[in-house]
Amino acid sequence: KAGVTQTPRYLIKTRGQQVTLSCSPISGHRSVSWYQQTPGQGLQFLFEYFSETQRNKGNFPGRFSGRQFSNSRSEMNVSTLELGDSALYLCASSPEGRSGANVLTFGAGSRLTVL
């Protein structure tokens, strides 16, 4: 069973640009969550999607957005990039919605550098 796949793995952008990151969950997983990981702030929850709907949202500005497609693949977009957006963006998928037995399976991440 293929794991969670994130693309691109590395990218460099400049301030003011926008970026789109992609996540393909494990086959059959319908929930996709996104996290920002930085040395200073650790793992910060961005949002969670289930059945193409954003179900949970963290405390990030509106520049951070996402969506989920009917095949459960998800994208996140960051507009008007700032230096502080440099981070590893992690995607995680889980099988079902809200069962207590669900666990998150993480991708390798997309490392974004903003210059």
Partner 1 sequence: AQRVTQPEKLLSVFKGAPVELKCNYSYSGSPELFWYVQYSRQRLQLLLRHISRESIKGFTADLNKGETSFHLKKPFAQEEDSAMYYCALRRYNNNDMRFGAGTRLTVKP
Site for partner 1 in 63-82 (CB under 8 A): none
Q: Which of 20, 45, 65, 86 binds partner 1 (CB under 8 A)?
A: 45
Q: How many CB atoms lie within 10 A of CB 62?
A: 6
Sheet with strand 19-24: strands edge to edge: 5-7, 19-24, 74-78, 64-68
Which of 20, 67, 108, 111 touches partner 1 by CB under 8 A? 108
Chain residues that interact with partner 1, rule: CB under 8 A:
3, 31, 33, 35, 41-43, 45, 48, 50, 55-56, 90, 92, 94, 97-98, 100-109
